[in-house]
Amino acid sequence: MYLKKLELKNYRNYSQANLDFDKNTILILGNNGNGKTNLLESVYYLSTGRSHKTYIQDEIIKWGSNYSTIKALIGSGRGDKEDRFIEIELRKGSSSNTKIRVDKTRRKKKSDFISLLPSVIFSPDDLNIIKSGPSGRRDFLDSVLEKIDGKYCRERTQYQKILMQRNSLIKSMGGSGRIDMENNPTLEAWDDNIVKYGIDIIKKRCGLLGELKGEFENYMSSFFKKASVDIFYIFSWDRKDSPDSFKSPLLSEMAGGNFTGGDLKEIFYGKLKDSQKKDIRYKTTTVGPHRDDFVILLDDKNARYFGSQGQQRVAAICLKLCELGILRRKLKRNPVLLLDDVFSELDIERKKLLVKAIGNDFQTFVTSTNISYLDRLDLDFGSKLLVKDNKITVLDL
Ligand SMILES: Nc1ncnc2c1ncn2[C@@H]1O[C@H](COP(=O)(O)OP(=O)(O)O)[C@@H](O)[C@H]1O
Ligand SMILES: [Mg+2]
């Protein structure tokens, strides 16, 4: 699938934009702040039903407007008959006002349309997956799972609801000063539910990490020949907030994604029960997938703390390359690639390695402020666009 036509109305800085694309690589040039990222964001929205930059939908609507539309024709590459027409209408005030239609038919569930135009976005903010706290790493795993598993989004929402309910019960217990409430039957019931719903999330995330592990290590060693690389999941109960503590008894098993779910369930339940007193004291649930993490080791050191900026950037790119492979295998179609300013931060050798890793099989959108170094790479641009003064124009090749 590829993006054939895109029409934006009141999207970020664009009042109106009408664009036609072919399957080739598309270069989007423009100075800082002119709307390159905004354009890629609109394609990502079309693909996933959300922005990669914000959870606040109103931010996307052009200032001063109260609605925004994204319309697109998705080409199958097998003739016009199989093309799909997607329309998204956003209204200010509430994200529940969003209307999505595919071929004029309303789609109520996100999972009904998000695999139509799969996409992977590479953005400078990806550095945070490696550098920042665990939530960015959880978000990475969750966003990939949402794209490949129609049920995942619902399961996670369900878990969040149960977690909120357990937390409010815990707060009320602490408030009354009754720390001895730990074997309370209502709390036990929430614990059962936390485990029931949380275990699926943990298993799916570990399965995903197990699946991308080999590929990630291969990509990393193509970028950094000499470094040894490892990546594994960390359970909330094994997390310690010091740079060197990443060992835990189950990790070697988990890394391959081949743990026995039954045992894990028991361990999870035991850890949750053990943490009751502490949870009541801290007024929050300290055990569960909402506190899990994963760690990347480069030469046995945590990349988050000891990796150079360049190594961290490449590690984030390698995670995205793995996402690309996984989407392609699971959805059996080629995702669209959105490369937002990724080349500028890499040295020439790693720029070339990235171009090689991506290959020519994908419709790729590349943004840049500067064309000079791109000319030295083996990128074959089918078209070039310039964003300037809130308008997008096609440049002669
Ligand atoms: N909702 C909005 N309405 C109008 N303009 C917006 C909106 N959100 C962001 N912008 C504008 O978009 C600009 C950023 O565009 P961006 O795509 O990030 O630029 P770049 O070309 O550097 O990637 C900001 O400077 C801001 O002026
Ligand atoms: Mg940008």
- Whether residue 328 lies inside any domain: the answer is no
CA distance 359 to 339: 13
What CATH number did the domain enclosing 359 receive?
3.40.50.300
Same domain, 107 and 138: no
Residue 389 inside a domain? The answer is: yes
Q: What is the CATH number of the domain that holds 234?
A: 1.20.1050.90
Ligand 1 atom nearest the C-alpha of 341 is 23
Question: Does residue 282 fall inside a structural domain?
Answer: yes
**63 Cβ inside 6 Å of ligand 1:** yes
Query: Does any domain span residue 325?
Result: no
Rg (CA), the chain: 23
CA of 40 to the centre of ligand 2 (A): 9
37 in ligand 1 pocket by Cβ < 6 Å? yes
End-of-domain residue from the set 253, 286, 306: 306
Per-residue model confidence (pLDDT) at position 175: 57
300 and 361, same domain (yes or no): no
Residue written as token pair 């005030």: 93
Q: Kindly state whether residues 185 and 298 are assigned to the same domain.
A: yes
Q: Which domain holds residue 352?
A: 2-118+334-395
- Residue 229 shares a structural domain with residue 111: no
pLDDT tens column, 212-222: 999 999 999 99
Same domain, 298 and 344: no
Task: Identify whether residues 213 and 277 lie together within a single domain.
Answer: yes
Same domain, 111 and 139: no
**H or E element in which residue 85 lies:** strand 84-91
**Is the domain of 189 the same as that of 294?**
yes
Note whether residue 317 is domain-resident: no
Same domain, 114 and 134: no
SS3 for 111? Answer: helix
Residue 321 lies in a domain: no
- State whether residue 389 is helix, strand or coil: coil
Tokens representing residue 36 in the block:
């390159």
How many domains are contained in the chain? 2
Q: Are residues 265 and 161 in the same domain?
A: yes
5 CA from centroid of ligand 1 (Å): 22
DSSP, res 80: G
Rounded distance between C-alpha atoms, residue 18 and residue 109, angstroms: 27
pLDDT lower than 70: segments of the chain: 174-183, 241-262
Cα 367 from Cα 339, distance rounded (Å):
6
Please tell me if the CB atom of residue 33 comes closer than 6 angstroms to any atom of ligand 1: yes
295 and 188, same domain (yes or no): yes
In a shared domain, residues 91 and 142: no
248-255 long-range Cβ contacts below 8 angstroms, 24+ apart: 254/206, 254/210, 255/209, 255/210, 255/213, 255/230, 255/231
Cα(123)–Cα(37) distance, integer angstroms: 9
Q: Cα–Cα distance between 120 and 327 in angstroms, integer?
A: 9
Residue 311 lies in a domain: no
Q: CA–CA separation, 215 vs 274, rounded Å? A: 37
CA distance 374 to 262: 52
Out of 290, 306, 322, a domain closes at 306
The verdict on the CB of residue 350 being under 6 Å from ligand 1 is: no
Q: How far is the CA of 35 from the centre of ligand 1 (A)?
A: 5
In a domain, 278, yes or no: yes
Give the Cα separation of 304 and 55 in Å (integer): 25
Q: Is 13 close to ligand 1, i.e. is its CB under 6 Å away? A: yes
pLDDT at 82: 86
